[in-house]
């Protein structure tokens, strides 16, 4: 294909003779020790653009001094990488699309992008998207990259994608170039080291000179050489050493405040309100612990952050919470992994937003299909295997944790998927199930419901990457079934006031027996128990005798024998449940006598889920009320939580707090007021609607 491309001069005849000229479409990467070694090649290419009457476009985004002055004739586009990968890349592509074929481009040093995004992986993704587009438009594009600063995540992607890669060396005042890739061209000397002599580049034939200059330079993209750590690994090692020094009473070798701030933006969030909370409740050791549990690189996303922040807030609030909270056992798949998956599986261009939203939805549908059939990089798959080895055959849940999710005003409630993995079978079967779960969550980022939500809230232009939260499911095994005793959602403000003595400020729970899917997703065929936390025994039913009619009848559980999430009748589940615990949650129907299961001739529990003893004889409701209050005070905003809890026969329990987020806006409350528990038919009504924008 390259043979049909137009031959174009670099403006340096000596370089043209080495490379046999440039070809239309060439992306030329200059690997340099410093930007000063990039500067000499720019005036010649600018003059050539002017001579040919081509548009010359300069993308300015780095911290170094500008590379081109006004006299160069370049159109300067100032870009801001801090706005996020998506907006930065889209801005670059929009300019390229408008310029059309044949333009000349000069980019600032790419290494600053890795510094802004804290990720070599994302630098590689940028190059893999932008450069093929430039190639198809028959452009000439110059880039610089600092040598020996990046991991293979960047260098491998760049070296595979670029058409021309040239290393630049300075030794004893002399300039040398070493072409390491010149696609579609060959001469007997093209890949030799060349010394600049006047306007010419002369091949170096002395083995001693070649060895002195090239022999000491590692090649990070070669598997048999030293893999130099990139931005992420270097920062992690610094943080780990500093945290160890602080823990043992030593003196860190780096300034820890600056390091904490860097990690905060690199791993946790770019949202200023959440950064403020994280500064209050996280420390350097917390951030190191998060990074130790990360698969890939990038940020952990909103759901992971909310869970971790809530736990940190409670631990700070008092020692009693250490006894009340079940330890979480979580891993975080960084947001960069999502983008890498899209790029490497040919999904990114389908994800690029179209001005026609209906056309965008059609592209999104095709993107979802490709996402569901995509493959993971070898390195990520190896980390999945290691994580599964750690978890063994414990059930897992793969939860969405996008960058925009669970932010102030943007709940994305129900828009993205979470997938349970019963995690049974051979190691290969469990790995395939995990990968399918990850693909499902990734595909939900392109769901029509999610995209329409983003459109409605003005978020289509915002950087939206899908991180993941992978957790050990809280609960116990009963026969072949696995589930927590109770689960649900909670609100620090109660908008469903069905009696005058219910205090909205005390909060509300929507409680179920078993997995919390029925409380979170609202099963239309069943009911949940509404619990006003200042009056937990008061029911919303219009007449007290009607409660059995509106009791939960089905229980969501993980069926380990059939390796799936399923729903069972309560009485079926209760048959496998410990008899000394069941009456904590259910009220026996004494009028029917002691029923027996005719198939096995054993007593079977007959009754209905009421949660009366749980709410009346344990401190569960006061604990959840205090938990919601502490979190609302820390957030200075009403909050929404998801939780599970597991009990002992004496009423002692531990709560697993799996999610915490600021309450969404009015539209969300109206929807949940309609769907509160299915109890509208039983007399529940709403007399108070909380509006977060106006306060409680």
Per-residue pLDDT band for 523 (boundaries 50, 70, 90) equals: low
Per-residue pLDDT band for 665 (boundaries 50, 70, 90) equals: low
Q: Report whether pLDDT(600) > 60.
A: no
What is the reported pLDDT for 117?
82
- Decide: 639 and 615 in contact? Cβ < 8 Å: no
The C-alpha atoms of residue 274 and residue 60 are separated, in whole angstroms, by 30
Residue 284 C-beta-side C-alpha neighbours within 13 Å: 23
What is the reported pLDDT for 217?
54
Per-residue pLDDT band for 13 (boundaries 50, 70, 90) equals: very high
pLDDT digits (tens, 9 = 90+) for 308-326: 999 999 999 999 999 999 9
pLDDT digits (tens, 9 = 90+) for 209-231: 777 666 655 544 344 334 456 77
> What predicted TM-score, i.e. pTM, was given to this entire model?
0.83
Per-residue pLDDT band for 647 (boundaries 50, 70, 90) equals: very high
What is the reported pLDDT for 56?
97
Q: Report whether pLDDT(410) > 80.
A: no
Q: Write out the two tokens for 352.
A: 């690029």
pLDDT digits (tens, 9 = 90+) for 491-502: 999 988 888 889
% of the chain at pLDDT higher than 90: 58
The C-alpha atoms of residue 315 and residue 513 are separated, in whole angstroms, by 27
**Full DSSP string of 587-653:** EE-GGG---EETTTTEE---EEE--HHHHHHSSHHHHHHHHHHHHHHHHTS-EEEEEEEEE-TTS-E
Q: Write out the two tokens for 325.
A: 């909270």
> Radius of gyration of the chain from Cα atoms?
30
The C-alpha atoms of residue 149 and residue 463 are separated, in whole angstroms, by 26
pLDDT digits (tens, 9 = 90+) for 340-399: 999 999 888 887 766 778 888 888 899 999 999 999 999 999 999 999 999 999 999 999
pLDDT digits (tens, 9 = 90+) for 154-186: 888 899 999 999 999 888 788 899 999 999 999
Q: Report whether pLDDT(602) > 50.
A: no
Domains, the chain, ranges and CATH? 2-214 (3.40.50.300), 293-472 (3.30.1490.20), 476-682 (3.30.470.20)
- Which of residues 560 and 580 earns the better pLDDT score? 560
Taking residues 523-552, what's their average pLDDT? 81
Q: In this predicted structure, which of 308-322, 405-419, 481-495 has the lowest mean pLDDT?
A: 405-419
Q: In this predicted structure, which of 156-160, 404-408, 673-677 has the lowest mean pLDDT?
A: 673-677
List the end-to-end C-alpha distance of the chain, in Å, as a whole number: 66
Count Cβ atoms below 10 Å from residue 448 Cβ, excluding itself: 12
- Which of residues 23 and 696 earns the better pLDDT score? 23
What is the reported pLDDT for 521?
66
Residue owning tokens 């007021």? 673
- Which of residues 134 and 246 earns the better pLDDT score? 134
What is the reported pLDDT for 215?
60
What is the reported pLDDT for 299?
92
Taking residues 317-336, what's their average pLDDT? 93
Q: Report whether pLDDT(675) > 60.
A: no
The C-alpha atoms of residue 666 and residue 35 are separated, in whole angstroms, by 52
Per-residue pLDDT band for 619 (boundaries 50, 70, 90) equals: very high
- Mean pLDDT estimate for the chain: 86
Q: Report whether pLDDT(334) > 80.
A: yes
What is the reported pLDDT for 496?
82
What is the reported pLDDT for 466?
93
The C-alpha atoms of residue 559 and residue 423 are separated, in whole angstroms, by 10
Per-residue pLDDT band for 457 (boundaries 50, 70, 90) equals: confident
- Which of residues 523 and 363 earns the better pLDDT score? 363
What is the reported pLDDT for 229?
63
Q: Write out the two tokens for 251.
A: 């003196």
Q: Write out the two tokens for 355.
A: 């001005």
Residue 238 CB burial class (10 angstroms; 0-12, 13-18, ≥19): middle
Q: Report whether pLDDT(682) > 80.
A: no
Count Cβ atoms below 10 Å from residue 694 Cβ, excluding itself: 7
What is the reported pLDDT for 84?
83
The C-alpha atoms of residue 529 and residue 574 are separated, in whole angstroms, by 18
């Amino acid at each position: 294909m390259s043979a049909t491309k137009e031959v174009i001069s670099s403006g340096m005849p000596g370089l043209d003779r080495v490379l046999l000229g440039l070809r239309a479409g060439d992306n030329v990467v200059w690997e340099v020790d410093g930007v000063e070694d990039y500067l000499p090649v720019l005036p010649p290419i600018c003059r050539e653009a002017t001579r040919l009457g081509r548009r010359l476009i300069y993308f300015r985004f780095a911290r170094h001094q500008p590379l081109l002055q006004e006299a160069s004739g370049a159109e300067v586009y100032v870009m801001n990488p801090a706005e996020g990968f998506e907006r930065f890349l889209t801005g670059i592509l929009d300019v390229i699309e408008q310029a059309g074929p044949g333009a000349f481009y000069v980019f600032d040093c790419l290494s600053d992008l890795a510094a802004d995004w804290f990720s070599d992986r994302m630098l590689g993704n940028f190059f893999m998207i932008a450069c093929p587009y430039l190639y198809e438009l028959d452009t000439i594009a110059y880039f610089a990259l600092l040598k020996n600063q990046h991991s293979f995540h960047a260098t491998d992607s760049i070296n595979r994608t670029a058409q021309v890669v040239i290393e630049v060396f300075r030794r004893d005042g002399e300039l040398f170039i070493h072409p390491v890739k010149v696609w579609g061209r060959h001469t007997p000397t093209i890949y030799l080291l060349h010394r600049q002599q006047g306007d010419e580049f002369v091949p170096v034939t002395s083995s001693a000179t070649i060895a002195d200059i090239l022999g000491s330079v590692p090649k990070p993209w070669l598997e048999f050489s030293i893999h130099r750590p990139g931005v992420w690994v270097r920062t992690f090692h610094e943080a780990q050493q500093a945290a160890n020094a602080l823990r043992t009473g030593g003196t860190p070798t780096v300034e820890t405040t600056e390091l904490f701030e860097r990690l905060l933006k690199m791993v946790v969030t770019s949202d200023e309100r959440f950064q403020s909370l994280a500064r209050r409740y996280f420390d350097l050791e917390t951030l190191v612990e998060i990074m130790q549990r990360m698969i890939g690189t990038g940020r952990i996303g909103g759901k992971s952050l909310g869970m971790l922040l809530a736990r940190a807030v409670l631990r700070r609030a008092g020692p009693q919470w250490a006894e009340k909270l079940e330890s979480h056992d979580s891993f975080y798949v960084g947001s960069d992994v999502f983008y890498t998956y899209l790029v490497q599986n040919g999904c990114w261009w389908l994800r690029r937003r179209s001005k026609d939203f209906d056309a965008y939805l059609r592209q999104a549908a095709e993107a979802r299909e490709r996402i569901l059939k995509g493959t993971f990089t070898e390195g990520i798959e190896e980390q999945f295997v290691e994580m599964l080895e750690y978890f063994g055959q414990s059930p897992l849940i793969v939860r969405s944790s996008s960058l925009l999710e669970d932010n102030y005003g943007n709940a994305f409630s129900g828009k993205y998927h979470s997938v349970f993995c019963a995690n049974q079978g051979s190691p290969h079967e469990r790995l395939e199930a995990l990968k399918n779960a990850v693909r499902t969550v990734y595909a939900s980022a392109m769901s029509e419901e999610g995209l329409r939500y983003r459109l409605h809230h003005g978020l289509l232009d915002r950087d939206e990457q899908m991180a993941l939260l992978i957790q050990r499911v809280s609960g116990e095994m009963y026969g072949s079934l696995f589930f927590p005793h109770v689960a649900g959602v909670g609100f620090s403000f109660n908008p469903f006031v069905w009696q005058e003595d219910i205090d909205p400020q005390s909060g509300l729970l929507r409680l179920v027996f078993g997995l919390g899917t029925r409380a979170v997703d609202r099963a239309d065929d069943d009911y949940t128990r509404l619990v006003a936390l200042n009056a937990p025994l008061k029911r919303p039913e219009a007449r007290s005798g009607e409660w059995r009619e509106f009791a939960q009848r089905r229980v969501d559980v993980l069926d380990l024998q059939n390796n799936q999430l399923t729903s069972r009748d309560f009485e079926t589940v209760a048959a496998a449940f410990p008899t000394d615990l069941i009456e904590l949650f259910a009220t026996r129907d004494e009028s029917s006598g002691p029923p027996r299961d005719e198939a096995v001739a054993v007593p079977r529990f007959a009754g209905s889920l009421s949660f009366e003893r749980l709410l009346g004889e344990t401190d569960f409701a006061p604990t959840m009320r205090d938990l919601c209050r502490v979190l609302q005070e820390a957030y200075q905003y009403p909050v929404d939580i998801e939780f599970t809890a597991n009990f002992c026969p004496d009423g002692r329990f531990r709560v697993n707090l799996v999610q915490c987020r600021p309450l969404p806006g009015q539209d969300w409350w109206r929807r949940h007021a309609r769907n509160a528990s299915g109890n509208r038919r039983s007399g529940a009504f709403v007399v108070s609607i909380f509006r977060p924008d106006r306060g409680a």
